[in-house]
Structure formats: C-alpha cells, structure tokens
C-alpha cells in the first residue's frame, strides 16, 4: 500500500473512532440499544399526557433587578430575583398549563397551603423553584420563555393598571407564549407559587414569574416575590404542579 493510501486509511479510522465516541452517549441515554429517544418520546412514557417532560441536568438561572425590570416603586412585599448561577435538577414532569388546565381561568386567590393541597389531590406536588425556573427559561436561563429579548404581546404581560384581576385570561390562550419545554403562560397572566421557602423567613414562600402587569413584580422567568404561606391571597397568584417521572 502506498504512503498516501496508508494516510487515508489512518484518517478513516480516526474519523470512525470519533463517530463512535460521539454516538455512544446517545445509545446510553436511549437505554443502550442505540436508538435515540427524543424528550417528547420520553415524556409520552414517563409523564401524564397533560405534562411536559424535563430532562435531568444543570441549567442557568437568575438575573439582576434591572434585567427583570423591577420598578422603583417599593410595595410591602419582598421582590428579590436570585443571583445568576448554575443549578441542577433531576428529570421531572411539569403541567403545561396553569392549574387547573388549558381553557380554564387559572385558579388564583389561593394561599401556598391551598395550592400545595390542590396538587396533592391530583397525586402531584408543587414544583420547586429550580424545576419551575428551568421549565420557563430553559437550560440557558432565558429572561423570558421565548428568549432574552422582550417581545410586546407575545405573552399576556402588558396590562397597564395593577389590580385589574378580571383581565386574567384562560390558560393556553395563545400558542405563542411557550417555553423550550412546551409549557405555556409562564410569563404573564398569573405568577405561580413554588415549594421553596425564602431564606431566613420560615413562613414566606416564593411566587415566581411576572404577572399580567409588569410594574410590581418585574417581568419574566427570573422574577420572583414572596408571600406568607397562609395569607394574604391575590388574584394574580396561581400555580402549576410537578411530578416525579414514572420509573
């Protein structure tokens, strides 16, 4: 064999090894039989049909007060987006729509305790802050479910006057306000209770995301504010449930 032929053979072998090394993780993640299984396919097996599957792994989250567009107005509540950082979750299922589901007005005017019980009655649980935020902003920690640049009218987040609770719309009102994990209305409409406590405040729980009016709590996936677990209630504080995957 000529020197040129030997070099071509060696190059082919190197490329073959590289392809095998690249495809090996896909074979492992698919169960070892070499077939790639998409997140949607996994979700169909591991989650109920009204929930989205979110894979395990690290993700980015957090933002500054300026990035979530907190106003100078200081209400009698804590508004404190967490610092930017890397976080991690196991795989899980999350409801695609605000409770109680697509086509229904989100259940608001509920305390954290009531939201938690409502999830438990479904055989589910409140999402953790990490689970909710990852489902909203994706692994890159976007400010909004659709990216880092705000788009007027894409989500129901542009009501000028605070307190107009009758302007909350039904869950799933638009297919455009969708996250990378196929969850809807995680920006705007109602903000959502999660399981986590505010550090140093044992009775305070976090409510995540912006609401239909952005002037009080800020905008998007990285916005958060806190309320006591048992009171008060507000017409723009709702929730959605999460669930561990079926093993």
Tell me the average pLDDT across 72-85.
87
- E-assigned strand segments in 14-171: 51-54, 57-61, 78-79, 85-89, 92-95, 125-126
What percentage of the chain has pLDDT greater than the value 90?
Answer: 68
pLDDT band at 20 (very low <50, low <70, confident <90, very high): very low
> Does domain 38-244 sit in CATH 3.40.50.300?
no
Tell me what pLDDT residue 243 has: 98
pLDDT band at 77 (very low <50, low <70, confident <90, very high): confident
Tell me the average pLDDT across 52-61.
97
| Interacting residues of 31 by C-beta distance below 8 A, sequence separation 6+ | 37
Closest CA to 94 of 122, 132, 130, 151: 132
- Report the SS3 class of residue 227: strand
- Yes or no: say if 154 and 112 are a contact pair by the CB < 8 Å rule: no
- For residues 189 and 32, which has the higher predicted lDDT (pLDDT)? 189
What percentage of the chain has pLDDT greater than the value 70?
Answer: 85
Domain boundaries along the sequence of the chain: 1-37, 38-244
- For residues 32 and 117, which has the higher predicted lDDT (pLDDT)? 117
Tell me what pLDDT residue 23 has: 37
Kindly report the backbone phi and psi dihedral angles of residue 26, in degrees, each rounded to the nearest multiple of 5, phi listed first.
-65, -40
- For residues 201 and 8, which has the higher predicted lDDT (pLDDT)? 201
Residue 25 pLDDT > 50? no
Tell me the average pLDDT across 196-216.
91
Tell me what pLDDT residue 108 has: 94
Tell me what pLDDT residue 45 has: 87
Residue 33 pLDDT > 80? no
Report the alpha-carbon distance of residue 93 to residue 26 in Å, rounded: 21
Report the alpha-carbon distance of residue 87 to residue 60 in Å, rounded: 6
């Amino acid at each position: 064999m000529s020197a040129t032929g030997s070099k071509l053979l060696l190059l082919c072998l190197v490329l073959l090894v590289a392809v095998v090394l690249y495809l090996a993780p896909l074979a492992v993640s698919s169960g070892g039989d070499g077939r790639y299984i998409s997140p949607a396919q996994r979700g169909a097996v591991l989650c109920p049909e009204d929930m989205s599957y979110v894979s395990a792994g690290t993700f980015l989250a957090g933002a500054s007060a300026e990035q979530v567009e907190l106003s100078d107005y200081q209400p009698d509540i804590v508004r404190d987006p967490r610092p930017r950082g890397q976080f991690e979750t196991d795989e899980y299922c999350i409801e695609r729509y605000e409770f109680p589901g697509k086509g229904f007005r989100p259940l608001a005017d509920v305390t954290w305790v009531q939201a938690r019980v409502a999830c438990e009655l479904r055989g589910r649980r409140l999402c953790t802050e990490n689970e909710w935020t990852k489902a909203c902003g994706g692994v890159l920690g976007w400010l909004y479910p659709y990216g880092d640049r705000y788009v007027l009218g894409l989500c129901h987040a542009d009501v000028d006057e605070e307190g107009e609770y009758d302007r909350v719309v039904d869950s799933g009102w638009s297919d455009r306000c969708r996250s990378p994990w196929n969850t809807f209305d995680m920006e705007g409409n109602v903000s959502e209770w999660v399981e986590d406590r505010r550090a140093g405040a044992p009775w305070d729980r976090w409510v995540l995301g912006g609401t239909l009016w952005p002037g009080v709590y800020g905008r998007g996936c990285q916005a958060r504010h806190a309320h006591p677990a048992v009171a008060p209630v507000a017409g723009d504080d709702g929730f959605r449930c999460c669930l561990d995957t079926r093993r």
